[in-house]
Amino acid sequence: MTLKSELSNVSRETMERLRLLEDLVAKWTPRINLISKRDRATIWDRHIADSAQIWQFSPEKPETWADFGSGGGFPGLVIGAFAADENPRLQLTLVESDQRKAAFLRQAVREMDIRCQVLAKRIEDVQPLAADVISARALASLPKLLEYLQLHGKENCVGIFPKGRRSNEEIEEARRDYRFKVTATPSITDEEAAILQISEVARA
C-alpha cells in the first residue's frame, strides 16, 4: 500500500474534513505551536496522511476509541474524519492535558462536524474509558502506553501505536513487565517507522 492509495478512495466528505483540519492546524499553529515550524509546509504528508494510515488497522466497527495526547489532532481528529463517514456511531474520546490545545481540538470538532468528546485532563486523571481501540502518536514509551491500555481498554482492546526506529527496542523493553501480542507493519510515510498493533496485554 502506498500513501497515494491510502487516500485515493476516501469519500468527498472525508476529504473535505481532512482539508479543513489542514487549514485549522495552519491557522492555529502560530498561536499555540501545534506542530513544529519546519512541518508547517508539509502538514498533509507529515501529519494528516501519517495519521490516516492508522485508520486501516481499526477493528471491524469498534464502538469506542480513545486517542491519548491528541495535541494538534493527530491521529485523533483524522480518525474522527474517517469515522464520520465510515463508522458514524463510533464514540471517540480525545485526551489532551494542555488547555490551549484542548481548546483547539474542541473548535476543530465543531467545525469538522465529527462525533467526539475532548477531555482536558492528564490521562492518569481520566476515569477508565473502556475503549475498544486506543491510539497515541509520539506520546510515550511502549511500556507506558501498555499501562494506559490496561487502565483504559476493554478486555479485548487493541492498541495502535506508530513508533520510530527504536520500535524493536521498545517492544523488548515492554516484554520485561508485560505479555502481549504485537504485529508491526512498516509505515507508508516513514521507512524507519512502524505501526504497532498491540492486543492481549497482561502483566508478566
Domain count for the chain, please give it: 1
Q: 192: buried, middle or exposed (CB in 10 Å: 19+, 13-18, 0-12)?
A: exposed
Q: Residue 190: phi, psi to the nearest 5?
A: -150, 115
Q: Which pTM was predicted?
A: 0.93
Q: Does 153 appear as a known binding residue?
A: no
Please state, in angstroms and rounded to a whole number, the distance separating the CA atoms of residues 15 and 8.
Answer: 10
**Residue 196 predicted with pLDDT over 60:** yes
In tens, the pLDDT along 132-166 reads 999 999 899 999 999 999 999 999 999 999 999 99
Provide the residue range defining the domain that includes 136: 3-203
Q: Does 188 appear as a known binding residue?
A: no
Question: What residue ranges in 50-144 does DSSP mark as E strands?
Answer: 64-68, 91-95, 116-119, 131-136
In tens, the pLDDT along 115-134 reads 999 999 999 999 999 999 99
Q: Does 69 appear as a known binding residue?
A: yes
Cβ–Cβ under 8 Å, residues 76 and 50:
no
Pairing of strands 131-136, 91-95: unpaired
**Residue 5 predicted with pLDDT over 50:** no
Q: Does 60 appear as a known binding residue?
A: no
Give the CA angle between residues 133, 161, 172 to the nearest 5°.
120
Specify the CATH number for the domain of residue 30. 3.40.50.150
Q: Does 137 appear as a known binding residue?
A: yes
